[in-house]
Structure 1
Amino acid sequence: MGEGRSGRAHDRAERPEARKALSRRADQAATRIAAAADATTTPPPTTPPPTTGTPVERHGQLRVCGTTMCDRSGARVQLRGISSMWLNWETAPYAENLSALTWMRDNWNLQVIRASMGVEPAGAYLSNPGKARAQVETIINNAVSAGVYVIVDWHAHEAQNNQSQAVAFFGDLARRYGHLPNVIWEPYNEPLQVSWTNVIKPYHQAVVSAIRAADPDNIVVLGTPTWSQAAVWNYGHFTSISPPCSCFGSACGGSALPTRPGR
């Protein structure tokens, strides 16, 4: 009897330790099951986009994807940069200065520059095409050297009145620069309050056809009525077409060029 009572007491003493051991083994098994489940359901990590190199080295050929812009890897891209003054009125031509462009790239995170070539005023393209074209080509070549994007802008409010000149201008530049991923075309800056169907769209179709004959890839930004503030989506069969939206200062929702951290 004494031995039986002693054996039962010994069993009772071992039971808490046994329960603890079982609990530890159960926890370990649960951990292994969870790890196995994660291995089968969690997708492998993707390669992050490059963070070094120039903007064009990082993103390459751009394209329109849905309602946004994507780079060569399919990642969404928002370019930030500056526009020149109407080139015919630019008295201190910073936009044509490669050193200034490189400095803005490195210190302001500039990714794109817009060459706003005036068309209609005195001294602009229609009255001095050689000078205007040389200014635009200087900006294009500087953008290529700096590895940034460049918007070639036919800066006019009534471009439909000079359609043949625009077709010749963009057709020629597309043949010579359309192979470069740096270039974005803008054939009509800010149309006035005129008909999209009867005035602006036929103009765009003529100019885009001239561009696409030599450059099938680069984005074309098409101005819309009311200074490019009206939404229009009926562009036709062309690819890599994007509508602009003109805004100025605080209307754009904040600073267009954030500086690097710490600056």
Structure 2
Amino acid sequence: MKNKLQLHGFNNLTKSLSFNIYDVCYAPAEQQQAYIEYIDEAYNADRLTQILKDVADIIGAQILNIAHQDYDPQGASVTMLISEGDVMPPASMNSQTPGPLPDTVLAHLDKSHITVHTYPESHPDNGISTFRADIDVSTCGRISPLKALNYLIHSFESDIVIMDYRVRGFTRDITGKKHYIDHNITSIQNYIAKDTQELYQMIDVNVYQENIFHTKMMLKEFELENYLFEKESNLNDLQKAEIEKKLQTEVTEIFYGHNYRRKKIKVAD
């Protein structure tokens, strides 16, 4: 579709990116409270607000209003209303290329909102703790929130990333013809930097005729030390093997979206 499409009135397309990250950690019972406190401090409402402000800067949006809240016993939320900035979007805005990293920011966003909610939680008895952050970037207009994706992936410690992108509604050109999407897209993966892609196993489930795109990412390399809340733990080889199995099961279950159950062995009479 041509970049200079002449529209009848405003661009009424709504483009929504839902971005879920999971950070998995091993913190046994005596460490779980410390883990929750660490996560609540590392990703409190102030820190999340700053991340969303950075996203607004990346996409050139004007912040209209911010509401943020820390919760008891854990978790936080931030909602940010935004509007279109004064700078026109560059011609490359809708190109299928990665957005900027945290140290290089230039983009544009039309009016809408950005939200983030966090969900720290722990398994009741096996020491596995999983932190989840849900982020939604929704735009109404010419540009796609996918340009903020690369920055968001690098803003969190992401073992698993699950992304959904959808274009809703339609906009009309000056002849009255409806347009249900105004940019080419074949995969969310095209908006992720190559060095990041190399770190993850990635799966796409796309419904092109409905303008629905879904991508899941899971880290390829597993190093136990990266998953231990207390890095200097005195664990023997057997304990390490058991913990590693628990962690890998947790990550795999989240990635594929279902629980794995051990087969019961029947004992002969």
What TM-score do you get using the length of structure 2 for normalisation?
A: 0.28
Tell me which structure has the larger Cα radius of gyration: 1
What TM-score do you get using the length of structure 1 for normalisation?
A: 0.29
Q: Bigger relative contact order, structure 1 or 2, given CA contacts below 8 A and separation 6+?
A: 2
Query: Which structure: greater strand fraction?
Result: 2
